[in-house]
Amino acid sequence: MKLISAVTLALLTAVAAARAQESGEPRRGLAVARANCAPCHAVARGDRASPNPLAPPFQRVANTRGMTAMALNHFMHSAHETMPLIILSPDDQWHLVAYILSLRSR
Ligand code: HEC
């Protein structure tokens, strides 16, 4: 039983990650980021200084070791002391995740 749920979970995770990469459009994600995240985060490629110094530039987020679509989704759906919980439509969420991951440089 346990093994079956572990396998199911692994499959669901893989499907969700594949979906983010396939259906999210980075260009639309940039617009979502500009509208929702730019007051605090540096959102553009090559922009290393965030308006809020506590908020990491998205390029740095993208290059964090082990960063995945699942990890980003999880982060954005949980509450943080220093960052407001921002509710986006599922489509915008996927575009945004695809955009952030597109900034990865290594
Ligand atoms: C009001 C300011 C503010 C806004 C708006 C904001 N953030 Fe943040 N965000 C922060 C701060 C401050 C941190 C650092 C907090 C921490 O590490 O706990 C942070 C951390 C993060 C992190 C974690 C980075 C890491 O490596 O741990 C991610 C991912 C993130 N924000 C994504 C977003 C996205 C996507 C949006 C837009 C939908 C957004 N943020 C909007 C202030 C903001």
> Between the CA of residue 55 and those of 42, 52, 82, what are the distances in Å?
8, 6, 9
Q: What is the CATH number of the domain that holds 63?
A: 1.10.760.10
Q: What residue type is assigned to position 29 of the chain?
A: G
What is the number of domains present in the chain?
1
Residue with the two structure tokens 């985060």: 41
Whole-number Å distance, alpha carbon 43 to ligand 1 midpoint, is: 11
Q: Quote the pTM value.
A: 0.83
**Measured from the CA of 32, which atom of ligand 1 is nearest?**
38
CB 36 near ligand 1, within 6 Å: yes
Q: Alpha helix locations (H) across the chain?
A: 2-23, 26-36, 58-62, 69-76, 90-102
Domain range enclosing 80 = 2-102
Residues 10-68 have pLDDT tens digits of: 666 666 666 655 679 999 999 999 999 999 999 999 999 999 999 999 999 999 999 99
User: Residue 76: how many CB atoms within 10 A of its CB?
Assistant: 19
CB 80 near ligand 1, within 6 Å: yes
Residue nearest to atom 2 of ligand 1 (CA): 40
